[in-house]
Amino acid sequence: MSPRNSALTAILAAAVALSLLWPLIPMPPSLIDQVPSSAQGLSSRDLPLSENETRWLAGARGIKRIVRTPSGLWLLAVTDGSNNRQAVHDPAYCFRGEGWTVSSRQSLPLANGHASLLTLTKPDESSQALAWFSDGGPPFTSPLEYWAKTTLRRLSRGLSGNEPLLFILRPLGPPPKNWTALAPELVATLTP
């Protein structure tokens, strides 16, 4: 065998071995286990996921909680798409699937990132929701950034960072009038 063929055979054998061993490298634990259920000024109660929510997650992990803060009562939904990336997407899709129209989307600056304020309408009601992604770093709102980070994480077996989580926070009752003031504190309190 020529030296060139020997080198190509060695490279091919190494690539095959790496491709077989790479999936065996364990992924780091999920941040979803670190989402606080209580903190100073925060208490919460987990709610069971509905049959539809469980089916929609299709292997992804989710949390649904009623959260009480000094600023009000909230419904928090968190999704970790580690086991099913399709379960995490632009939050507007979730609301459209529930019959809402997203009438506006506003980026709210936080101390070290951004969250999206979605204004939702139905023929006879309206609501709002705050949405953001977090991988333990600055919160962000771009689904493209989520897909890039989660793809890089899978390729690197977690060496590039944590799996980003999708957070959606909705008021239980009338929407607050001061989201710009509330959002930084709420995101910082609820994000690991």
At 103-112, the pLDDT tens digits run 999 999 998 8
Q: Please check whether residue 117 lies inside any domain of the structure.
A: yes
Q: How many percent of the chain have pLDDT more than 70?
A: 92
Tokens of 156: 């690197």
Q: Please check whether residue 37 lies inside any domain of the structure.
A: yes
The number of distinct structural domains making up the chain is: 1
Q: Please check whether residue 135 lies inside any domain of the structure.
A: yes
Helical (H) or strand (E) element with 137: none
Q: Please check whether residue 176 lies inside any domain of the structure.
A: yes
pLDDT at 73 over 90: yes
Matching residue, tokens 């606080």: 36
Q: Please check whether residue 16 lies inside any domain of the structure.
A: no
Average pLDDT of the residues of the chain? 87
In this predicted structure, what is the pLDDT of residue 130? 95
Within 8 A by CB and 6+ apart from 5, the residues are none
- Residues 20, 25, 26, 31, CA torsion sign: negative
Out of 81-85, 117-121, 131-135, 170-174, which region has the weakest mean confidence (pLDDT)?
81-85
Distance in angstroms (rounded) separating the CA atoms of residues 128 and 101: 11
In this predicted structure, what is the pLDDT of residue 44? 92
Domain that holds residue 87: 29-190
At 30-68, the pLDDT tens digits run 899 999 988 888 899 999 999 988 888 888 899 999 999
Q: Please check whether residue 62 lies inside any domain of the structure.
A: yes
At 130-151, the pLDDT tens digits run 999 999 999 999 999 999 998 8
In this predicted structure, what is the pLDDT of residue 10? 74
In this predicted structure, what is the pLDDT of residue 19? 66
Report whether 68 contacts 60 (CB < 8 A): no
Within 8 A by CB and 6+ apart from 111, the residues are 184, 188
pLDDT at 124 over 80: yes
Within 8 A by CB and 6+ apart from 184, the residues are 110, 111
Q: Please check whether residue 4 lies inside any domain of the structure.
A: no
Distance in angstroms (rounded) separating the CA atoms of residues 137 and 72: 26
Q: How many CB atoms lie within 10 A of CB 45?
A: 9
Q: Please check whether residue 14 lies inside any domain of the structure.
A: no
pTM score? 0.85
In this predicted structure, what is the pLDDT of residue 18? 65
